[in-house]
């Protein structure tokens, strides 16, 4: 019978594996499905932290995470981008190859664990397990933004960073007030809608969503 600490470690490993699922994908549909799986696991992690800490508000935060971030946001992105041509949804020529991306992401995870050991934070078992994972999500999301050329992937990278920051806040504070949590998730949803509309306009203007095209908009 696994103990609570076993469950925490197992869920942390599954969350990291789901994040690597985003790194190794090439298509927008695959990225979104991987992000959805990552967020579903994140909602489960929040529910597990609620169980361990006995803070009932975190169960509501877990449900909001599942509903808004794992269901509504992917649906919005699929709906807004469904008219884009299939070829421009594929990351065929990233700045960094997928194989090197996996190796670099593994190094970022190692660096995250090393960094958390240096932080003077009063520790409990949830912080010990999930603080390095939150750093890993943040850095891997940042790496996705830097290493990929498609604007669609930039959005998924931003969402991964947001998941890392969200996990960091939950682990450190054991949750903000519900009003703040709802406000933050509404902000994220609005940001995703605006980003998706801009993406759609970009595809219509350039017949591509390669971020290199944005350089032509520079005022020399």
pLDDT(136) > 90:
yes
Alpha carbons within 13 angstroms on the beta-carbon side of residue 108 total: 22
Q: Is 186 helix (H, G, I), strand (E, B) or coil?
A: helix
Please report which confidence band the pLDDT of residue 169 belongs to, taking 50, 70 and 90 as the band edges. Answer: confident
Structural domain containing residue 6: 1-82+144-205
87 in any annotated domain: no
87: burial class by Cβ within 10 Å (0-12, 13-18, 19+)? exposed
Average pLDDT in the chain: 80
pLDDT(129) > 70:
yes
pLDDT(60) > 80:
yes
Contact indicator for 101, 94 with CB cutoff of 8 Å: yes
17 in any annotated domain: yes
170 in any annotated domain: yes
What number is the average pLDDT over the span 19-24? Answer: 85
Please report which confidence band the pLDDT of residue 133 belongs to, taking 50, 70 and 90 as the band edges. Answer: very high
What number is the average pLDDT over the span 177-182? Answer: 70
pLDDT(86) > 60:
no
What number is the average pLDDT over the span 61-86? Answer: 81
110 in any annotated domain: no
Q: Quick one: tokens of 199?
A: 């993406």
What number is the average pLDDT over the span 39-53? Answer: 89
Q: Quick one: tokens of 51?
A: 């169980």
pLDDT(208) > 70:
no
pLDDT(19) > 80:
yes
214 in any annotated domain: no
Q: What is the pLDDT of residue 206?
A: 63
101 in any annotated domain: no
Q: What is the pLDDT of residue 182?
A: 72
Please report which confidence band the pLDDT of residue 118 belongs to, taking 50, 70 and 90 as the band edges. Answer: confident
How many folded domains does the chain comprise? 1
91 phi and psi angles, rounded to 5 deg: -90, 90
Q: What is the pLDDT of residue 213?
A: 61
Write out pLDDT tens, residues 138-158.
999 999 888 877 777 778 888
100 in any annotated domain: no
- Report the 3 state secondary structure along 109-178: HHHHHHHHHHCCCCCCHHHHHHHHHHHHHHHHHHHHHHHCCEHHHHHHHHHHHHHHHHHHHHHHHCCCCH
Q: Is 208 helix (H, G, I), strand (E, B) or coil?
A: coil
Which residue is it, tokens 């908009």? 217
pLDDT(111) > 90:
yes
Q: What is the pLDDT of residue 91?
A: 63
136 in any annotated domain: no
Q: What is the pLDDT of residue 29?
A: 78
């Amino acid at each position: 019978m696994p103990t609570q600490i076993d469950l925490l470690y197992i869920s942390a490993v599954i969350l990291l594996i789901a994040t690597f699922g985003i790194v190794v994908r090439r298509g927008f549909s695959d990225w979104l499905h991987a992000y959805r799986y990552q967020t579903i696991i994140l909602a489960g992690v929040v529910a597990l932290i609620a169980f361990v800490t006995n803070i009932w508000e975190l169960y509501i935060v877990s449900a909001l995470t599942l509903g808004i971030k794992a269901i509504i946001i992917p649906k919005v992105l699929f709906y807004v981008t469904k008219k884009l041509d299939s070829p421009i949804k594929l990351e065929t020529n990233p700045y960094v190859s997928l194989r090197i991306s996996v190796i670099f992401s593994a190094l970022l995870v190692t660096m995250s664990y090393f960094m958390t050991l240096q932080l003077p934070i009063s520790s409990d078992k949830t912080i010990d397990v999930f603080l390095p994972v939150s750093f890993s999500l943040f850095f891997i999301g940042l790496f996705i933004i830097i290493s990929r050329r498609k604007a669609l992937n930039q959005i998924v990278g931003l969402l991964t960073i947001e998941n890392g920051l969200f996990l960091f806040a939950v682990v450190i504070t054991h949750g903000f007030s519900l009003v703040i949590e709802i406000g933050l998730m509404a902000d994220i949803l609005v940001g995703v809608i605006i980003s998706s509309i801009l993406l759609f306009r970009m595809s219509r203007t350039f017949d591509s969503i390669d971020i290199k095209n944005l350089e032509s908009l520079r005022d020399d």
